[in-house]
Structure 1
Protein backbone atom coordinates (compact mmCIF):
# COMPACT_ATOMS: atom_id res chain seq x y z
CA UNK A 1 0.00 0.00 0.00
CA UNK A 2 1.20 3.46 -0.83
CA UNK A 3 2.06 5.83 2.02
CA UNK A 4 0.10 8.55 0.25
CA UNK A 5 -3.69 8.29 0.34
CA UNK A 6 -5.27 9.89 -2.73
CA UNK A 7 -8.91 9.52 -1.70
CA UNK A 8 -9.80 11.63 1.37
CA UNK A 9 -12.79 9.35 2.01
CA UNK A 10 -10.37 6.46 2.60
CA UNK A 11 -8.52 8.52 5.21
CA UNK A 12 -11.81 9.52 6.89
CA UNK A 13 -12.91 5.89 6.91
CA UNK A 14 -9.58 4.77 8.39
CA UNK A 15 -9.91 7.29 11.20
CA UNK A 16 -13.49 6.16 11.82
CA UNK A 17 -12.41 2.50 12.00
CA UNK A 18 -9.44 3.25 14.28
CA UNK A 19 -11.59 5.24 16.70
CA UNK A 20 -14.15 2.45 16.97
CA UNK A 21 -11.74 -0.50 17.21
CA UNK A 22 -13.84 -2.64 14.86
CA UNK A 23 -16.97 -2.62 17.00
CA UNK A 24 -19.02 -3.68 13.97
CA UNK A 25 -18.77 -7.35 14.93
CA UNK A 26 -16.58 -8.41 12.01
CA UNK A 27 -18.63 -6.48 9.48
CA UNK A 28 -16.41 -3.42 9.28
CA UNK A 29 -15.82 -3.61 5.51
CA UNK A 30 -19.54 -3.54 4.58
CA UNK A 31 -20.15 -0.83 7.19
CA UNK A 32 -17.33 1.34 5.84
CA UNK A 33 -18.41 0.81 2.24
CA UNK A 34 -21.91 1.95 3.07
CA UNK A 35 -21.00 4.83 5.38
CA UNK A 36 -18.26 6.33 3.18
CA UNK A 37 -19.39 5.20 -0.31
CA UNK A 38 -16.18 3.26 -0.92
CA UNK A 39 -15.36 0.36 -3.19
CA UNK A 40 -14.37 -2.94 -1.60
CA UNK A 41 -10.72 -2.20 -2.37
CA UNK A 42 -10.91 1.26 -0.83
CA UNK A 43 -12.60 -0.15 2.28
CA UNK A 44 -9.82 -2.71 2.65
CA UNK A 45 -7.25 0.06 2.21
CA UNK A 46 -8.99 2.04 4.97
CA UNK A 47 -8.96 -1.00 7.27
CA UNK A 48 -5.23 -1.51 6.71
CA UNK A 49 -4.56 2.17 7.31
CA UNK A 50 -6.61 2.05 10.53
CA UNK A 51 -4.44 -0.82 11.72
CA UNK A 52 -1.37 1.34 11.08
CA UNK A 53 -2.97 4.20 13.04
CA UNK A 54 -3.59 1.86 15.97
CA UNK A 55 -0.05 0.48 15.86
CA UNK A 56 1.25 4.04 15.93
CA UNK A 57 -0.96 4.76 18.95
CA UNK A 58 -3.14 7.38 17.35
CA UNK A 59 -6.43 7.59 15.44
CA UNK A 60 -5.46 10.12 12.80
CA UNK A 61 -2.73 11.51 10.68
Structure 2
Protein backbone atom coordinates (compact mmCIF):
# COMPACT_ATOMS: atom_id res chain seq x y z
CA UNK A 1 0.00 0.00 0.00
CA UNK A 2 1.41 3.40 -0.96
CA UNK A 3 1.66 6.33 1.42
CA UNK A 4 -1.22 8.09 -0.36
CA UNK A 5 -3.41 5.01 0.01
CA UNK A 6 -2.55 4.84 3.72
CA UNK A 7 -3.51 8.49 4.21
CA UNK A 8 -6.81 7.94 2.40
CA UNK A 9 -7.43 4.80 4.43
CA UNK A 10 -6.69 6.65 7.65
CA UNK A 11 -8.93 9.54 6.62
CA UNK A 12 -11.80 7.18 5.85
CA UNK A 13 -11.49 5.47 9.23
CA UNK A 14 -11.39 8.87 10.97
CA UNK A 15 -14.61 9.83 9.16
CA UNK A 16 -16.30 6.58 10.21
CA UNK A 17 -15.13 7.04 13.81
CA UNK A 18 -16.36 10.65 13.83
CA UNK A 19 -19.78 9.59 12.57
CA UNK A 20 -19.92 6.86 15.23
CA UNK A 21 -19.14 9.47 17.89
CA UNK A 22 -21.93 11.72 16.66
CA UNK A 23 -24.45 8.86 16.60
CA UNK A 24 -23.49 7.17 19.89
CA UNK A 25 -24.72 8.80 23.09
CA UNK A 26 -22.13 9.27 25.84
CA UNK A 27 -24.11 6.98 28.13
CA UNK A 28 -23.52 4.11 25.69
CA UNK A 29 -19.73 4.57 25.72
CA UNK A 30 -18.22 2.59 28.55
CA UNK A 31 -14.67 3.97 28.32
CA UNK A 32 -12.93 7.30 27.81
CA UNK A 33 -13.44 8.41 24.21
CA UNK A 34 -9.78 8.23 23.13
CA UNK A 35 -9.48 4.68 24.44
CA UNK A 36 -12.77 3.70 22.83
CA UNK A 37 -11.78 5.09 19.42
CA UNK A 38 -8.32 3.53 19.52
CA UNK A 39 -9.65 0.08 20.37
CA UNK A 40 -12.83 0.13 18.28
CA UNK A 41 -11.31 1.62 15.11
CA UNK A 42 -7.59 0.90 15.50
CA UNK A 43 -6.71 4.61 15.48
CA UNK A 44 -3.58 6.21 16.84
CA UNK A 45 -4.04 8.80 19.59
CA UNK A 46 -3.50 11.56 17.02
CA UNK A 47 -6.10 10.06 14.66
CA UNK A 48 -8.54 9.63 17.57
CA UNK A 49 -8.13 13.35 18.27
CA UNK A 50 -8.82 14.07 14.60
CA UNK A 51 -12.00 11.98 14.80
CA UNK A 52 -13.14 13.96 17.84
CA UNK A 53 -12.50 17.24 16.01
CA UNK A 54 -14.39 15.97 12.97
CA UNK A 55 -17.32 14.87 15.17
CA UNK A 56 -17.44 18.37 16.65
CA UNK A 57 -17.54 19.87 13.15
CA UNK A 58 -20.39 17.52 12.16
CA UNK A 59 -22.33 18.48 15.30
CA UNK A 60 -21.75 22.20 14.71
CA UNK A 61 -22.99 21.96 11.12
CA UNK A 62 -26.15 20.17 12.19
CA UNK A 63 -27.02 22.70 14.91
Whether TM exceeds 0.5 here: the answer is: yes
For 1:11 and 1:38, the matched residues in 2 are separated by 11
The secondary structure found in structure 2 opposite 1:38 is coil
Superposed CA deviations along residues 11-37 of structure 1, whole A, max 9, x for unmatched, are 000000011144436711110110000
Q: Which residue of 1 aligns with 2:17?
A: 13
Q: Where do 5+ consecutive residues of structure 1 fail to align?
A: none
Q: How many residues align?
A: 54
Q: Is 1:40 paired with 2:59?
A: no
> Normalization by structure 2: what TM-score?
0.72
RMSD of the alignment, in Å? Answer: 2.2
Q: Structure 2: any 5+ residue segments left out of the alignment?
A: 1-6
